[in-house]
Amino acid sequence: MQADSSRTALPIWQSLVRHCAEVRQSHLRDVIARDPKRFETFSLEASGILLDYTRQRVTRETVSLLLDLARTVDLPEKIAALLGGNIVNNTEHRPALHTALRRPVGDPAGANLNANGRNVMPAVLEEREKLEHFVQAVHSGKIAGTGAQAPFDTVVNIGIGGSDLGPLMASEALTAYRRPDMRVHFVSNIDGCQLSDVLAQANPATTLFIICSKTFTTLETMTNARAARQWIVEKLGSAAPGRHFAAVSTNHKAMDEFGIGERMRFTMWDWVGGRYSVWSSIGLALALAVGVEHFRAFLAGAHEMDTHFAEAPLEENLPVLMGMLGVWNRSFLDMHTLAVLPYDQRLHRFPAYLQQLEMESNGKRVTRSGRLVDYATGPIVWGEPGSNAQHSFFQMMHQGTVRPAVDFLAPVHGSCGRQAQHDLALANCFAQAEAFMAGMPAAQLREELQGAGMTPEDAAALALHRAHPGNRPSQILLFARLDPRTLGSLIALYEHKVYVQSVIWDINPFDQWGVELGKKLAGQLAPAVADPEAGAAKHKGVAGLLRYVARWRD
User: Which residues are catalytically annotated?
Assistant: 360, 391, 519
The one among 120, 143, 160, 285 contacting ligand F6P by CB under 6 A: 160
> Which residue lies nearer to ligand F6P by CB, 420 or 515?
515
**According to the binding rule CB under 6 A, does residue 139 interact with ligand F6P?**
no
**According to the binding rule CB under 6 A, does residue 275 interact with ligand F6P?**
yes
CA distance 277 to 295: 14
In terms of Cα–Cα distance, which of 102, 136, 481, 106 is closest to 297?
102
Q: Tally Cβ neighbours within 10 Å of residue 420.
A: 7
**According to the binding rule CB under 6 A, does residue 163 interact with ligand F6P?**
yes
**According to the binding rule CB under 6 A, does residue 215 interact with ligand F6P?**
yes
DSSP assignments along 26-64, one per residue: S-HHHHHHT-TTHHHHSEEEETTEEEE-TTSS--HHHHH
C-beta of 114: minimal distance to ligand F6P in Å? Answer: 25
Q: Is 232 exposed, middle or buried (0-12, 13-18, 19+ CB in 10 A)?
A: buried
The one among 183, 214, 229, 294 contacting ligand F6P by CB under 6 A: 214
Stretch that binds ligand F6P, among 14-22, 159-167, 197-205, 297-305 (CB under 6 A): 159-167
C-beta of 248: minimal distance to ligand F6P in Å? Answer: 9
**According to the binding rule CB under 6 A, does residue 274 interact with ligand F6P?**
yes
Give the interface size with ligand F6P as a residue count (CB under 6 A): 14
C-beta of 502: minimal distance to ligand F6P in Å? Answer: 15
Stretch that binds ligand F6P, among 104-112, 211-219, 332-340, 398-406 (CB under 6 A): 211-219
**According to the binding rule CB under 6 A, does residue 57 interact with ligand F6P?**
no
CB-nearest residue to ligand F6P: 274
Q: 348-367: which residues touch ligand F6P (CB under 6 A)? A: 360
415's CB contacts (< 8 A; 6+ apart) are 173, 175, 176, 344, 345, 346, 422, 481, 482
In terms of Cα–Cα distance, which of 111, 154, 9, 126 is closest to 69?
9
Binding mask 308-347 for ligand F6P (x = CB under 6 A): ----------------------------------------
Q: Is 186 exposed, middle or buried (0-12, 13-18, 19+ CB in 10 A)?
A: buried
**Contact between residue 481 and residue 411 where contact means Cβ atoms under 8 Å apart:** yes
Q: Tally Cβ neighbours within 10 Å of residue 87.
A: 15
Which amino acid type is present at position 415?
Answer: S
C-beta of 520: minimal distance to ligand F6P in Å? Answer: 12
C-beta of 378: minimal distance to ligand F6P in Å? Answer: 15
Q: At what angle do helices 75-83 and 484-505 cross, to 10 degrees?
A: 130
CA distance 116 to 92: 13
Grouping H, G, I as helix, E, B as strand and the rest as coil, residue 407 is strand
**According to the binding rule CB under 6 A, does residue 281 interact with ligand F6P?**
no
> Which residue lies nearer to ligand F6P by CB, 158 or 335?
158
> Which residue lies nearer to ligand F6P by CB, 54 or 213?
213
Q: What are the residues binding ligand F6P (CB under 6 A)?
A: 160-163, 213-215, 218, 221, 274-275, 360, 512, 515
